[in-house]
Amino acid sequence: MDAISFGQIEDLFGSPLKLPSLIDELPIGIAILDPQRRVLLLNRAYEELSGFDREAVWGIPCRYVLRTNICQQKCLAAQAHESRGPVTVEGNIINGARRKIAVRLTAVPLYDDAGNEVGFLETAEDIQALQQVSNNIHPKDGIGRIIGQSARMEELFRIIPVIAQTDSSILITGETGTGKDLTAEVIHQASDRLNGPFVKINCGTLPETLMESELFGHRKGAFTGAVSDKMGRLRTAHNGTLYLTEIGDLSLPLQVKLLTFLDDKVVYPLGSTKGFQAEVRVIAATHRNLEKMVQESLFRQDLLFRLNVVRLHLPPIRERGGDIGLLLDHFLKTFSARFEKTPKSLTQPARNFLLNYPYPGNVRELKNITEYATNICPSDVIGMDHLPAYLSEAGIAENGYDKRNGHAPLLPSKYNGREQNTGINWAAIERQLIIDTMIQANGHRSKAARSLGWGRSTLWRKMKKYGLET
């Protein structure tokens, strides 16, 4: 290879070869930087990993594109410059979607014929699938990063390794926040496609024309604004997995085109009659009732049959029994470590409340609540006052919490998010809670107040209200 100019490799074959076309076919992220470590070229895998469009980041310093913890210590390209050779490290990046990903990074300096350094080549490989994110969770408690001990989850853990080894299409259903995205990732990581790309696209985020281009790609000039060729997500996912979240939002014309691809595995970009073979395993997910959408002519029945070869339904957290406590402890430990804080614990009232809250947002809501509380709690013990305000402001009709009676855990353990028990004597429950806590604290009000997550004056006021002051 004598020269690389204007994105072409010359004097290697009989005619120039476009460098972008070559590196786009590789499954690891590749970036070419100038001597000041600014981005000159990214391949498609690097775009997927970083979450940034190659045209949008041209000329931007690489530390703003592939944001790694290594950059905070010493620039990898700078290390390659000093060593005059390749440097490889493992670390973490935060991509454009603010998601943390474990990666293996390599930087190597590039030299011209005279031995002058003209830039750098960096590679980034997603290795999170190769790491077991255990967080001290015993294997019996989950698979990958999915955690649970309930019978419903144990059945899921039994099925996932089996279906992961097939190439059948999978449809994952369940309420918002039940873990559909994570389940799709775990299936990919447990499959033979582990070293291939895992490409995700939300079917409800773009207008129909743009979504078609995003999925299938386009040729230059295919429509207004198509200034260059674009490889679609289906080709990017070659030898890997394409995850279509919110499949129920896909337009009917694109449903037809997706069905055609599922039948023949050939991708036809917009504006092109030439097809490209793409060996892709498709996983789709939705919180919608697709059978009902079929009846309403909003979703094609033949596509539903094609996607629904294997179906996984994720239960809401309120139907998972003791998994709430397991997840609560896991998130407390995880966020305490992430924020470099002393491991947090919960007061008994706060724990009781969180164990009995119905979680309309499911696991995602529990995770967000725990992250918030771990962030704002200045001490080692999280009380009711450290939980998000909406939990105490929603009222009985929405989540079973009576804001008129302070911060007592008021939900019956069998509460399922739909029924309301307005016959409960909330005041009596709170009064008994104070008595029990004072007994456990041997009569020490300060200790009891801390256990309840209240200020000492709040406890005194409530004791006076219930005739418990001494």
**Helix, strand, or coil here: 250?**
coil
Angle between helices 323-338 and 362-376 (to 10 degrees): 40
Answer yes or no: CATH 3.30.450.20 is held by domain 3-130.
yes
H helix intervals, 278-424: 290-295, 301-307, 323-338, 348-356, 362-376, 389-393, 396-399
Separation of alpha carbons 417 and 318, rounded Å: 8
139-315: CATH class: alpha beta
pLDDT at 128: 66
The identity of residue 162, as a single letter, is V
Nearest to 234 by CA among 207, 186, 208, 269: 269
Chain segment 109-121, per-residue pLDDT in tens: 998 888 889 999 9
SS3 labels along 382-417: ECHHHCCHHHHHCCHHHHCCCHHHCCCCCCCCCCCC
Instruction: Provide the mean pLDDT of the chain.
Output: 81
Please give the Cα distance from 466 to 470 (Å, whole number): 12
- Domain parsing of the chain, residue ranges: 3-130, 139-315, 318-465
Q: Name the residue with higher pLDDT: 171 or 399.
A: 171
Examine the pLDDT at 403 and tell me if it is beyond 80: no
Gap between the Cα atoms of 329 and 355, Å rounded: 11
Fold match between 139-315 and 318-465?
A: no
State both tokens at 102.
Answer: 């474990």
Token pair 């773009």: residue: 206
Q: Which helix (H) or strand (E) holds 67?
A: strand 67-68
Q: Which amino acid is at 311?
A: R
User: What is the pLDDT at residue 262?
Assistant: 93
Torsions phi, psi for 437 (to 5 deg): -70, -40
Say if residues 267 and 310 touch (Cβ distance below 8 Å): no
The tokens of 276 are what?
Answer: 């490209």
Q: How confident is the model at residue 408 (pLDDT cuts 50, 70, 90)?
A: very low
Q: How confident is the model at residue 5 (pLDDT cuts 50, 70, 90)?
A: very low
- Pairwise CA distance, residues 351 & 152, whole Å: 23
**Given CA atoms 221, 223, 227, 230 in this order, what sign does their dihedral have?**
negative
Question: Cβ atoms within 10 A of the Cβ of 17, count?
Answer: 14
CA–CA distance, 311 with 163 (Å, rounded to integer): 10
Instruction: Label residue 4 by pLDDT band (50, 70, 90).
Output: very low
- Can you give the pLDDT at residue 255? 95
The domain made up of 318-465 has a fold known as: Helicase, Ruva Protein; domain 3 (1.10.8)
Residue with tokens 């499959």: 191
Residue 197 in contact with residue 45, Cβ under 8 Å? yes
Paired tokens of 87: 């440097």
CA 302/CA 257 separation, integer angstroms: 12
Residues in Cβ contact with 239 at an 8 Å cutoff, skipping those fewer than 6 apart? 27, 193, 196, 197, 279, 280
Cα–Cα dist 375/377, whole Å: 6
Tell if the pTM clears 0.75, that is, is over it: no
451 versus 426: which is more confidently predicted? 451
Mean pLDDT in residue range 183-209: 87
Return the closest-CA partner of residue 41 out of 75, 68, 8, 16: 8
Would you place residue 373 in the very low, low, confident or very high pLDDT band (cuts 50, 70, 90)? very high
